[in-house]
A and B are shown apart, each in its own frame.
Chain A
Amino acid sequence: MTRIEKVFKSGRKVLVAYLTAGDPNPAATPELVAALERGGVDLVELGVPFSDPIADGPVIQAASARALAEGTTLAKVLEIARTIRKTSDIPLLLFTYMNPVVRYGFEALARDAKAAGIDGCLMTDLSVEEADDYIGIMRDAGLDTVFLAAPTSTPRRLELVAKYSSGFVYVVSRNGVTGEREQLSASVGPLLEQLRAKTTLPLAVGFGISNGEQARASAEHGDGVVVGSAIVRLIEQGGDLEAFARSLREGLDG
């Protein structure tokens, strides 16, 4: 069983945190992850910064630019993972756009990510149609492959997403880029129901969740929630990550 599979068997709603690795600088990331873990985060998505983050809103775009300015490459993110792994067993999901991986090479990434203690990978702009080689290589290395399901996905596509995913399915709750929202989307309930009928994989809901109350509401029909931009914004402001993670945890468990 992978670390990701294990954490979804814990019995509690899983709290997933996204942060852009290398923001504000590569040396800072391991301690930020530790603070999140102390606050009750169960799984961390390490975002690989990219020059053209088309799926991200302004908060993560800016974080990406800061991380790149500090020299955060994909290789550097793996180094960060290795540092985290020295003191923590928290599941780590590499969250990345395609091109840095194309450049690094799928085989090299699978090998080096596994060695660094990464547990799985999600590629924002890799559709299941293009993923055959990638899946084989990742699975052979013992890494989970997480794919996105979206409100626009047709039943046929949800079938494919469920089939190609392992560890969990990341359920995008609304159309749009990453970013906090005051109102949560209502369309996620039916989407989760459709997916339940197609897979036994855990379902984590993300996009727009920024506080404990929203976390609880989003987790109602899912197995976990993902919080991203709210965490990245707090990092930018130098706020108390551990306390924020705890408030999300309490909201979820509440």
Chain B
Amino acid sequence: MVETVEPLAGLASGPDTRGHFGPYGGRFVPETLMSPLEELEEAYLAARRDPAFNAELDDLLKNYAGRPTPLYFAKRLSEQLGGARIYFKREDLLHTGAHKINNALGQALLARRMGKRRIIAETGAGQHGVATATACALLGLDCVVYMGEEDMRRQRLNVFRMRLLGAQVVGVTVGSKTLKDAISEAMRDWVTNVNETYYLLGSALGAHPYPMMVRDFHRCIGIEAREQILAAEGRLPDAVFACVGGGSNAIGIFHPFVEDAGVRLIGIEAGGRSEKLGEHAARFSGGAPGVLHGAYSYLLQDGDGQVALTHSVSAGLDYALIGPEHAWLHDRGRAEYLNCTDSHALEGALQLSRTEGLIPALESSHAVAIALDQAPAAKGQIFIVNLSGRGDKDIDLYRENLPELDINSEKASA
């Protein structure tokens, strides 16, 4: 055991002072943004040392967002599969319907503390946009959200929610019209209005200190899950599963387990339609290290270093770069990364819905499906799956992809 424990020491202590996780991460942005990032890092570290800041955040997480979230034992599903005992970390029960609110509240409080009254954000699935719009409404801050037009189409409900909350949603029409282009536009806004604007980035991505800061705001997921499983089972789990878009829900639940050698950490990327470049978002199997939006990490790109298009049925996983700390955990062999196709994720969602009455977000369904695959052969083991969000926002997409369940087809077959 000593051999596996020792190399783990220090693995959870990153990043270094320049924002590096091993060779990954860093700060790759135009000079105009460098001092603002230094200022942000300083303000963040000072806030985290301030008991008043932490107390206000804890209070909001508890009384406004709904923390701690339950760790639910899925008895029927576990029995049906006949293997691992499967627990779900219920981030789907949080206010606004996904883990994203943890980070949005933390950063919005930080923005207010820094005296910035204009907040900008990008969003893919719309969950981070909704979470940011919610935090801004709560704290009385102006909110502008950039969203690719393709994502606005597939996550229409969330666009309306953001507007209802008083946010301005700006459609992005360039490039693939998805998350990547929304981040580019948000960065262009930030570099232009940097003095009065706070960029509230929604995943464990971007230039230092974002990957560290976003992780820290989501670590509550893993801290709670660790205590809860010890209370329920008297021991640590054998495996923790989470979907990985940029990587925020995954790093949030993984991080408190990183130094627990016996716990497998399994991240699931979007396998999309096929293994062809452009038809998935599986950065480890299909990409190579590169720089996008301020960070060095695994990137889907062509042979000339142009960023590749990506595809996933779930807007939240549809992005070309993986968060830098995941790249480091991957290279060090601490976490494993698998991928799950669009259609398999839908199967997982259907099974979870019908066995446990939990309709997951399409993003989370990727982790669900892979955990269900592995469960039958894992008798005696304990699995935790991070249910990062609920499926309400995806009902239109479920309808599109499961036409046999739609009301029109019922009529037709009746």
Contacts and interface: CB of A to CB of B under 8 A. Distances in A.
Contacts of B193: 175
B337 to A, nearest CB: 21
A61 B181 CA distance: 12
A100 B180 CA distance: 17
B76 interface: no
A99 B192 contact: no
Given A99-B307, A100-B304, A129-B18, A152 B175 contact: no
Contact of A127 (B27, B195, B299): B27
Interface in B180-197: 180-181, 184, 187-188, 191-195
B376 to A, nearest CB: 42
B35 A154 contact: yes
A102 B304 contact: no
Interface string A90-117: 0000000111111110000000000000
A176 B31 CA distance: 11
B305 A101 contact: yes
A103 B31 contact: no
Interface of A: 50-55, 57, 61, 68, 73-75, 97-104, 124-127, 129-130, 147-154, 157, 161, 172, 175-177
B290 A102 contact: yes
Q: Is the interface of A mostly helix, strand, loop or mixed?
A: loop
B35 A152 contact: yes
B192 A74 contact: no
The main secondary structure of chain B at its interface with chain A is mixed
Interface of B: 18, 26-36, 38, 174-175, 180-181, 184, 187-188, 191-195, 288-294, 296, 299, 301, 303-307
A101 B305 CA distance: 7
Contacts of A130: 26-28
A100 B306 contact: yes
A152 B187 CA distance: 15
Given A129-B18, A152-B33, 17 more contacts: A51-B175, A98-B28, A99-B306, A102-B296, A102-B305, A103-B301, A104-B304, A125-B28, A125-B29, A129-B27, A129-B34, A148-B31, A150-B34, A154-B38, A175-B191, A175-B194, A177-B192
